[in-house]
Amino acid sequence: MSSSHSGSRRDFLKGSLSGAAWLCAGGAAAIAEPVAVGAKSRVVVARDAQLRGGGSTVEFGRMAALLDHAMVALTGRKSSVDAWKHLFRPGETVGLKVNTLGGRGISTNVQLVAAVCGRLQEVGIRAGDIVVWDRDSEELERAGFHLAEGGDRVQCFGTDRVGYEPELSAWGSVGSRLSKILTERCNALINLPVLKDHDGAGVTIALKNMYGVINNPNKYHPNGCDPFVADLNMLPEIHSRLRLTICDATTAMYEGGPGYKPEHSWNANAVLVSTDSVALDQTGWQMIERKRAEKGLKTLEAEGRPPRYIATAADAAHRLGTNDPRKISVVET
């Protein structure tokens, strides 16, 4: 990233979310081709031990550089711009589904979202065609996001502002009304979850972040959320739009989730990037298990709460991705 993009956190975020800080690059873009039969699903785990510099806040410049590095590693392109052009093209409307349930302590990082918005604009996506969203506008604000609606700027608001579709969408065990932000404002979706423990489901990462897209997530927590998480991700309105998952592991939780428990959190200073949400969840789960072992805790299996929905999402009825380590290429960088 050039030095012209490395100003203060406050100035950049204000500019980025107004759509004024980045120039839009035109030109054609290619959508990623299907993964070849037999090819492994790639999950990039990109880390920067100095992501917070000498303080407690993630530095924007380092975050943007880390995201660039991860995207190049994911796509094999020569540059970050080429990587984003490989996945998105001008004229698309792109939704960034963040996770803000845990408040500022364990929500999708504002600097990460600003970096994504900036890169989308660099490859020709209009600022006004980008919407940062979650279920509730107040939760977005508590997590540090600035609400914005209308005008030629990045949009940021919750489903509470626009509501849910009147008709149910159904697949398997799931029947839910979907956010109108998804159905009316997005033809491409970037999933931006966080990496954390969940007291019932075991972990909540990419697949479960889609609970924030529907009107009735409370119905789908029995049996460790299995098969509900997998069935929800099969809804065509979600499945057809999802283009990329970028998991925020700058701060992660190994116990006590989903609410923020600072005593059970650690600065992982990482992002996980993949086009396969199942493979990413499998990889993130193992990261949490390694931290639990380091802290002397039982495995999630031993505690009776393994994330079974990950295997369900990979089974023959769903085929949302793979949870087989032999079919996952984890790129540590």
Other beta carbons less than 10 A from residue 100's beta carbon: 26
Ordered mean pLDDT values, 10 residues apiece, the chain (333 residues): 37 44 30 55 98 91 98 97 97 98 93 98 98 98 96 97 98 98 97 98 98 98 98 98 98 96 97 98 98 98 98 98 98 95
Radius of gyration of the chain (CA): 18
Structural domains in the chain, sorted by start? 41-332 (3.40.50)
| φ/ψ (deg, to 5) at 200 | -110, -45
Other beta carbons less than 10 A from residue 161's beta carbon: 13
So what's the pLDDT on residue 18?
A: 46
Beta-strand ranges (E) seen in the chain are 41-47, 94-98, 130-134, 155-158, 169-171, 174-176, 188-192, 196-198, 202-204, 242-249, 252-253, 265-266, 270-274, 328-332
CA-nearest of 157, 156, 159, 57 to 116 is: 156
Find all residues with CB under 8 Å of 276, minimum gap 6, and list them: 41, 42, 43, 245, 321, 322, 328
Estimate the crossing angle of helix 9-18 against helix 60-75, to 10 degrees: 60
Strands 130-134 and 155-158: parallel
Decide: 159 and 98 in contact? Cβ < 8 Å: no
For the CA atoms of 275, 278, 284, 289, what is the dihedral angle to 10 degrees?
-160
Sign of CA dihedral 252, 255, 261, 265: negative
So what's the pLDDT on residue 56?
A: 86
Measured CA to CA, the distance from residue 102 to residue 199 in angstroms comes to: 14
Other beta carbons less than 10 A from residue 65's beta carbon: 19
So what's the pLDDT on residue 166?
A: 98
Query: Which amino acid is it at 197?
Result: D
Q: Is the peptide bond before 227 cis (omega within 30 degrees of 0)?
A: yes
